[in-house]
Amino acid sequence: MDIFQIINELGEHREDYYNSVSPPIFQTAMFSSKTVEDMRKLIANESDEPFYTRGVNPTVKMLCEKLASLEHAEESLVFASGSAACSAGIMSQVKAGDHIVCVQKPYSWTKKLLTEYLPRFNVSTTFVDGTKESNFLEAIQPNTRLFVLESPNSWTFELQNIPEIVKIAKKHHIKTFVDNSFASPLCQNPITWDVDLVAHSATKYISGHSDTVAGVLCGSREEMKKVFAGEFMTLGAIISPFNAWLLLRGLRTLPLRMERIGITTEKVINYLENHPKVDKIFYPFHHSHPQYTLANEMMTGKTGQFTIKFHAKSVKDMENMCNSFKRFLLAASWGGYESLAFPACIFATSENYQSADFTFDMVRFCTGLEDAEVIIADLEQAMEKL
C-alpha cells in the first residue's frame, strides 16, 4: 500500500455512510444491540467492536488503522495526549521491582514519569548517554525489563542507534520503546528494526494544525491487546471522536507538509550556519551534528525542529531578540503550520544557570509552512538585537 492509499483509503467504509468522502464523526458514547445475545457478543469483543467509546469508536478506529499502517505496526491505540501514549506504553511493560534503562534527556514528562511517578510503585530507572550503544548494555540489571528511547531526543537531538540497541535488548529479553515524535511516521519506522512499542505525540506533525492534543502507541496485535486491557481501558485517557476526526484531517496533508518543512528547514539552516551571531546548530541533518551519518541512515527525510545556541552575553539580549520576532510565535510544542520559537531562557533565567540540557543562550525552533525567505528575514531582523 502506498502512503496515499493509507491516508485516503485505509479504514474508510464510505458505503456505510452515504458514500460521504469525508468520514462522519461518530459522536456517541455507546452503541446499542438488538438482542441480549448480540450484546453478549459485543462486550466479549470490546477491543475490536464498537460497544462503548472508551473502548472502540469508529472514527477513532479509522485513525488507529491508518497510524498503525504508517508505522508498519499491526495495531495502534490513540490516546488523549502524547504523554498518555508514552505513559501507557512504558507502564504496560513493568511491575513493582522492575528496572528501566532510558536515554538521558527524554521529553520532560517522560522523565517525570520515570523519576517521580514510577518510583512510587517501586520501578526504578537508570539514565544513560544514548549515543553509545554499550551504555545500554552496561546499565542492564537482572530486573531490567525495558529500554526507553527517544531518537532524536528533545532539545539537543542526540540519536540512538536503534537497530543496534534492539539487538542488545533482544539478547537480554528486554522490551524496547521508542518515542518517534521528532521524525513523524513518515521519516523513521522503528518497528522495522523490531522495536516493540513506538509512540508519537500526535499533537505535533500528525495533527499539523496546532488545534489538537493527542498521542498514538503502535505495536504488535499482542502488545496492543495487553495495553488495551490494561492502561488504555483502566486509565481511560482516550481521545474524543471529534479530535480523532481532526487528526484524520491533519493526516491527509502529512506527506506534503513534511516535504515542505524539510526543504524550508534546510534553507534556514544553510542561512544560519555562517551567521556571526550563531554559536552552534543542533540539527541531526546538519553536517556539524556528531551523528550526521547515522541520522541519514536511520531517517528517510528531513524534519523541522532544531535548536540554535547564539552568541549572547546576557539573558536580556536573548529576551530582546525573542521579543522582536514578528513571524515566529513564542510557544511550546511544535509540528504545526506555523513557525515557533521556545527560548531556553524561560528556564535558565540567569547566565550562570548550569544545566546538562540547555543554557540561556539557546532557542528551540520549529519551522512551519511559511516561505523560507520569510523565516530567514524574521531571524535576520531579530538577531540584530543580540
Ligand X SMILES: *Cc1c(COP(=O)(O)O)cnc(C)c1O
Binding site for ligand X (CB under 6 A): 81-83, 86, 107, 150, 154, 179, 181, 201, 203-204, 213, 215
Distance of alpha carbon 181 from its chain centroid, rounded? 2
Minimum CB distance to ligand X, residue 198 (Å):
12
Element (H, E) at 296: helix 292-298
Q: Which is nearer to ligand X, 107 or 306 (CB)?
A: 107
Spatial neighbors of 353 by CB under 8 A, at least 6 apart, are 347, 359, 360
Minimum CB distance to ligand X, residue 214 (Å):
6
Minimum CB distance to ligand X, residue 187 (Å):
14
Cβ burial of 4 (10 Å; 0-12, 13-18, 19+) is exposed
Minimum CB distance to ligand X, residue 252 (Å):
20
Q: Which is nearer to ligand X, 83 or 160 (CB)?
A: 83
Q: Looking at beta carbons, which pairs linking 59-62 to residues 24 or more positions away fall under 8 Å?
A: 59/23, 59/24, 59/25, 59/26, 59/241, 59/244, 59/245, 59/248, 60/238, 60/239, 60/241, 60/244, 61/11, 62/11, 62/12, 62/23, 62/244, 62/248
Q: Which is nearer to ligand X, 277 or 289 (CB)?
A: 289
Q: Which is nearer to ligand X, 174 or 216 (CB)?
A: 216
Q: Which is nearer to ligand X, 165 or 372 (CB)?
A: 165
Q: Which is nearer to ligand X, 58 or 82 (CB)?
A: 82
Residue nearest to ligand X according to CB distances in the complex: 82
Minimum CB distance to ligand X, residue 287 (Å):
24
Minimum CB distance to ligand X, residue 81 (Å):
3
- Cα distance between residue 185 and residue 76, in whole Å: 12
